[in-house]
Chains A and B, each alone.
Chain A
Amino acid sequence: MTLSGKVAIAGIGQTRFGKGLEQSERELACIAIDAALRDAGIEPGTVDGLACYTMEDTPDFELVRDLGLGSIHYFAKIAHGGGAGPGAIGNAAMAVATGQCRAAVVWRARKRSGAATRVWARSSPVLEDHWKWSRPSGLLRPVDEVAMLARRYMHEHGDIVPALAEIAVTLRAYANANPAATMYGKQMNHADYHDSRMVADPLRLFDNCLESDGAAALVLLPADQAGKDAVLVEAFAQGMVPGHQSMSDFHRADPLSGSSSVTAAKLWSMTRYTPADVDVAQFYDAFSPLILFSLEAYGFAAKGDGTRLITEDGIGLTGRLPVNTAGGSLSEAYLHGFNLALEAVRQLRGEATTQVPNARLALVTGCDVTPNGALLLRRGA
Chain B
Amino acid sequence: MINGIPLPARDGPFEEGFWAALDRGVLAHQHCEACATWHFPPRWRCHCGGALTYQEVSGAGTLWSWTEVHPPVLPAFAPFAPYVVGLVQLDEGEGLRMVGNLVVASGDPINRVRPEQLQIGMKVQAVIGEIADGIPWPSWKIEPSIPTGEMP
Chain A residues with CB under 8 Å of chain B are 115, 120-121, 123-128, 130-141, 144, 147-149, 151-152, 155-156, 197-203, 242-243, 245, 248, 250-253
Contacts and interface: CB of A to CB of B under 8 A. Distances in A.
28 contacts: A115-B72, A125-B6, A125-B7, A126-B6, A126-B8, A127-B6, A128-B9, A132-B9, A133-B40, A136-B7, A136-B8, A136-B131, A137-B85, A137-B131, A138-B69, A138-B73, A139-B67, A140-B74, A140-B77, A148-B65, A148-B67, A152-B65, A197-B70, A200-B68, A201-B67, A202-B67, A248-B99, A251-B97
Interface string B46-75: 010000000000000000111111101110
Given A123-B6, A138-B83, A251-B95, A201 B70 contact: yes
Contacts of B96: 251
Contacts of A156: 151
A136 B66 contact: no
Interface string B7-26: 11100100000000000000
Please list the 10 inter-chain residue pairs (A to B) with the smallest Cβ-Cβ separation, ordered nearest first.
A132-B8, A147-B67, A152-B65, A201-B68, A134-B99, A155-B120, A253-B95, A128-B9, A139-B85, A151-B65
B77 A133 contact: no
B110 interface: yes
Given A127-B6, A136-B7, A137-B137, A151 B66 contact: yes
Contacts of B125: none
B95 to A, nearest CB: 4
A250 B97 contact: yes
Nearest to A197: B70
B66 A137 contact: no
A251 B43 CA distance: 12
B104 interface: no
Interface of B: 5-9, 12, 40-41, 47, 64-70, 72-74, 77, 80, 82-83, 85, 87, 94-101, 110, 115, 120-121, 131-132, 135, 137, 151
Contacts of A152: 64-65, 87, 120
A245 to B, nearest CB: 7
A136 B135 contact: yes
Contact of B69 (A133, A139, A253): A139
B151 A155 contact: yes
A239 to B, nearest CB: 17
Contacts of A135: 5-6
Contacts of B100: 137
Given A136-B137, A139-B69, A242-B47, A151 B120 contact: yes
Given A151-B67, A243-B95, A140 B73 contact: yes
A156 B41 CA distance: 25
B101 A137 contact: yes
A144 B74 CA distance: 13
B116 to A, nearest CB: 12
Given A126-B7, A133-B8, A121 B101 contact: no
Interface centre among A125, A156, A251 (most CB of B within 10 A): A251
Contact of B9 (A126, A144, A198, A242): A126
Nearest to A128: B9
Contact of A200 (B67, B94, B110, B135): B67
A144 to B, nearest CB: 5
Contacts of A124: 6
B69 A140 contact: yes
Contacts of A140: 69, 73-74, 77
Given A137-B85, A138-B80, A198 B68 contact: yes
B70 A199 contact: yes
Contacts of B85: 134, 137-139, 144, 148
A148 B87 contact: yes
A55 B36 CA distance: 39
Contacts of A250: 64, 87, 97, 99
Nearest to A155: B120
A127 B9 contact: yes
A123 B75 CA distance: 11
Contacts of A203: 67
